Amino acid sequence: MSRIRANGIEIEYEDIGPRDGMPFLLIMGFGSQMTSWPREFREGLADAGLRVITFDNRDVGLTQKWDGVFPDIKAVQDALKEGRKPDVPYTLTDMASDAAALLDELDIASAHIAGASMGGMIAQLVALDHPAKARSLISIFSTTSDPSLPRSTPEAQAALMTPAPATDRASVIAHSLKGRRAYASTRFPFDEARLSELAGASYDRSFYPQGSLRQWSAVMTSPPRTERLKKLHIPTLVLHGTADTLIPCAAGRHTAQCIPGAEYHEIEGWGHDLPLGVLPELFGFILPFVARVEEMREDGFATPVASGCCGVAAG
């Protein structure tokens, strides 16, 4: 792993796979470090010939922190209700600029931009705000943030937002496992040993719960992307699971419906997680999609994408 300065901040990143491979940027979700992407997933993409770049979002992992800045969540909510600009340290737009600037600093003109959950929201904003950087958009169990969409179940929401009862390593790991069960896949086994090991590694690498508060304020204050996505003309793949209780699959369908020509796939029994059992299906959708995008580009057909060219179809 390496550290680089981009968009005025220090960003921790990893760059694997062939240097002449097609760049593929992975953006992780709320409160999660880049190591939350399964190693098997990152290496599988690299083994397929992609140059895979992952990084810690601001305020998590080893990327720059906003120590001591604590947004007043109630004041933020009140400002949003009253149509005023909330006082927050940064927004998802700033986080999208981090991703685009990272590519610039790595001398990468454009990449396939993939994000999960909050990372999918950021990936959408990379495509919208920095279109030259995005060869394609891959939105993984994410959302347009449209207020009409179904909400998380109370159990999933509590699992995401409730802090650990104590900050020692064992308590944090136990709390992580309990939370993950609330939005885990139903079709794939819950691998407690593997997830305990990952939670412990994350704790050892960087236990920093205060960053989640600022990331949450960024999510809260970033407006829905519904109308902007309707004008987005870029090859898009949307993946979601039927068992997702944190961001219900209706959000994935809505994302695909908004983006002209988007390709949509629902995976039965997949939750808001990345169990090893789902990886073959993810590879089965992502790798052919990337290949098709590159073939279109070679034929001189990059953007805009003709409506319906890829098809919005559940699979």
Domains of the chain with bracketed CATH? 2-146+209-298 (3.40.50.1820)
Low-confidence spans in the chain with pLDDT less than 50: 301-315
How is residue 216 written in tokens? Answer: 């949450």
pLDDT of residue 312: 34
- Give the Cα separation of 175 and 165 in Å (integer): 8
Residue labelled with tokens 């996505």: 229
Q: In this predicted model, what pLDDT tens digit does every residue of 35-62 receive, in sequence order?
A: 999 999 999 999 999 999 999 999 999 9
Phi, psi of 264 (to 5 degrees): -125, 135
Give the strand pairing for 9-16 and 134-140: unpaired
* Closest residue by Cα to residue 272 from 174, 172, 160, 162: 160
The residue ranges of DSSP E strands in the chain, in sequence order, are 2-6, 9-16, 22-27, 50-55, 111-116, 134-140, 236-241, 263-267
Helix (H) / strand (E) containing 194: helix 192-205
What is the residue-wise DSSP string for 126-154? Answer: HHHH-GGGEEEEEEES-----TTSPPPPH
CA 244, 158, 196, 33 torsion-angle sign: positive
Q: How many other C-beta atoms are found inside a 10 Å radius of the C-beta of residue 254?
A: 23
Residue 139, CB-side half-sphere exposure with 13 Å CA sphere: 34
* Closest residue by Cα to residue 232 from 159, 303, 151: 303
Q: How far, CA to CA in Å, does 108 sit from each of 25, 91, 101, 115, 158?
A: 10, 24, 10, 18, 39
pLDDT of residue 298: 75
Residue labelled with tokens 């959950």: 117
* Closest residue by Cα to residue 92 from 205, 223, 254, 232: 223
* Closest residue by Cα to residue 67 from 213, 216, 211: 211
pLDDT of residue 301: 43
Whether the model pTM is above 0.75? yes
pLDDT of residue 299: 64
